[in-house]
Structures are given as C-alpha cells and as structure tokens.
C-alpha cells in the first residue's frame, strides 16, 4: 500500500516506503492474476478488485492519492465523515 501511514522518514527527512507485510511474490509470467487483492480504500486503483492484476499504473494511482492527501490535508475517501464530505473529489 502506498499510503501516508506507510511512508517513513529517515534522519534526513527522506521518505521510505515501508510495511510490506502483506506483499507476496507471484510469477507474473505464468499467471498475471493474484488470488485476492488487498489494499486500502482510497489508495487502491479502481481496476484492481475487478482484474486482480497489479500494474505500474496501480502504483501511480496510489502515489497520486498520497500526493492529493498531502496537498489537501485529508484522505481521498474518509468513511467516517458525513456522506456529503466522504469523498474528496467527485469524478
């Protein structure tokens, strides 16, 4: 998951991506689909639950969600908010 809680800062305040506890290696040459998709609401690209196939564009989407969170000061989707405030951006 590329999300704010998984970005760790070192002594020079350089960001490092952490929390690979749920990551698994798959031989994408033989089967591009994983058995199930694990991710966080608002950071996971919308095609992942449907295709179960992670691509570079999926990571770019997650990174963009992180940048939007940093710029706006709130998450893209916040389930605890009232319905009219739950989604930061309407598509």
Entry pTM: 0.66
Cβ–Cβ under 8 Å, residues 65 and 58? no
Domains defined along the chain, listed by start:
4-85 (1.10.510.10)
Residue located via tokens 């040459």 = 29
Q: Which pLDDT value is given to residue 12? A: 95
Task: Single out the catalytic residue among 1, 12, 19, 59.
Answer: 1
What string of pLDDT tens digits covers the 91 residues of the chain? 788 888 899 999 998 888 766 555 555 555 555 556 677 878 888 888 788 777 888 888 888 899 988 898 888 888 888 877 777 777 6
CB-based burial, 42-61: b 16+ in 10 Å, e otherwise: bbbbeebeeeeebeeebeeb
**1 is an active site residue:** yes
Helix (H, G, I), strand (E, B) or coil at 15: strand
């Amino acid at each position: 998951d590329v999300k704010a809680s998984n970005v760790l800062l070192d002594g020079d305040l350089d960001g490092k991506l952490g929390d690979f506890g749920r990551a698994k290696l798959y031989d994408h040459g033989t089967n591009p689909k994983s058995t199930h998709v694990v991710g966080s609401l608002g950071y996971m690209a919308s095609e992942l639950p449907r295709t179960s196939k992670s691509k570079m564009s999926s990571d770019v989407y997650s990174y963009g969600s992180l940048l939007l969170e940093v710029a706006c000061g709130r998450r893209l989707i916040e389930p605890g908010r009232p319905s009219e405030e739950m989604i930061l951006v309407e598509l």
